[in-house]
Amino acid sequence: MAGSDNVTKPLTILITGASAGIGRITCERLAKQKHRFVLAARSVDKLATLESQLRSMGCECLSVPTDVSDPSAIERLVKAAVERFGRIDVLVNNAGIECFSSFDELPVDQILQTIETNLTGAILLTRFVVPVMRKQGFGRIINISSIAGKHGPAYGAVYGATKAGLIAFTQALRGELKPAGILATVICPGFATRGGIYDEIVKATGKRTPKILGGTSAETVAAAIEKAIQTAPPEMILNFPAMRPVFLFRDFFPRLGEKLILATTLKFLKRAATHGK
């Protein structure tokens, strides 16, 4: 593990959005290594259920009901984690909400809630956690972005903006914090099946993304988070077929690349945005 001289096992892992989807599946996977967990999300009951499940797997666990869009709740979360375990080795900024809609029909409060949950919450939580990691001389920060952060999706302008923000945020942290033994990774999943937001969209619309666009699964994201803890790469794009060549093509040929991306996504995204209206 790079920069791991000061690390003790088991790791203390603070994860937001632990109550459902990718967050919950990640905890279940990492629990096999008997780590310690600080679980954050708003749903008290779901957190309690996960906590007892992880305890039954032999893990120490603390759940802290937290709304990451509330800065004082974030500060309390970090205090509670340090009081209980004395350190935070891994921070996974996973909590997120989507808001697919025509941009000019989005209510202002929904725009603000999305930014505060997906971006400001992650930035502030990291702000409170980094001093703890600095003292330890070790830390891993894993930000869950999306391929929507690599190319802003039509009808997902605000969601895409928050996810692009997380990518730049991670790059900046890497440049700054490496000498302190703290490494950040951003993970950009495609549409993920078997648990999470995408499944909800499919349930609501009855339609899947076009086959050519492919996707990933919640388990694959969980496996990538585990790998990021060990090897701390700068950026992981999770999709099959691979998306990096598509983004490279788009960077070289912006107009053609944009056409290609819209041809494969626009219909699905418009349907997701207009469903129920």
Q: Which residues bind ligand NAP (CB under 6 A)?
A: 16-23, 41-43, 46, 66-69, 94-97, 117, 144, 146, 189, 191-192, 196-198
State which residue, 97 or 180, has the beta carbon closest to ligand NAP. 97
State which residue, 119 or 136, has the beta carbon closest to ligand NAP. 119
State which residue, 211 or 255, has the beta carbon closest to ligand NAP. 211
DSSP the chain: -TT-TT--SSPEEEEESTTSHHHHHHHHHHGGGT-EEEEEES-HHHHHHHHHHHHHTT--EEEEE--TT-HHHHHHHHHHHHHHHS---EEEE-------S-GGG--HHHHHHHHIIIIIHHHHHHHHHHHHHHHHT-EEEEEE--GGGTSPPTT-HHHHHHHHHHHHHHHHHHHHHGGGTEEEEEEEE-SEESSSHHHHHHHHHS-PPPGGG-BEEHHHHHHHHHHHHHH--SEEEE-BS-SHHHHHHHHHSHHHHHHHHHHHHHHHHHHHHHTT-
Catalytic residue (choose from 37, 138, 155, 159): 159
Smallest gap from residue 83 Cβ to ligand NAP (A): 20
198 is known as an active-site residue = no
Smallest gap from residue 128 Cβ to ligand NAP (A): 15
State which residue, 150 or 174, has the beta carbon closest to ligand NAP. 150
Smallest gap from residue 145 Cβ to ligand NAP (A): 7
Smallest gap from residue 137 Cβ to ligand NAP (A): 29
Active site residues: 159
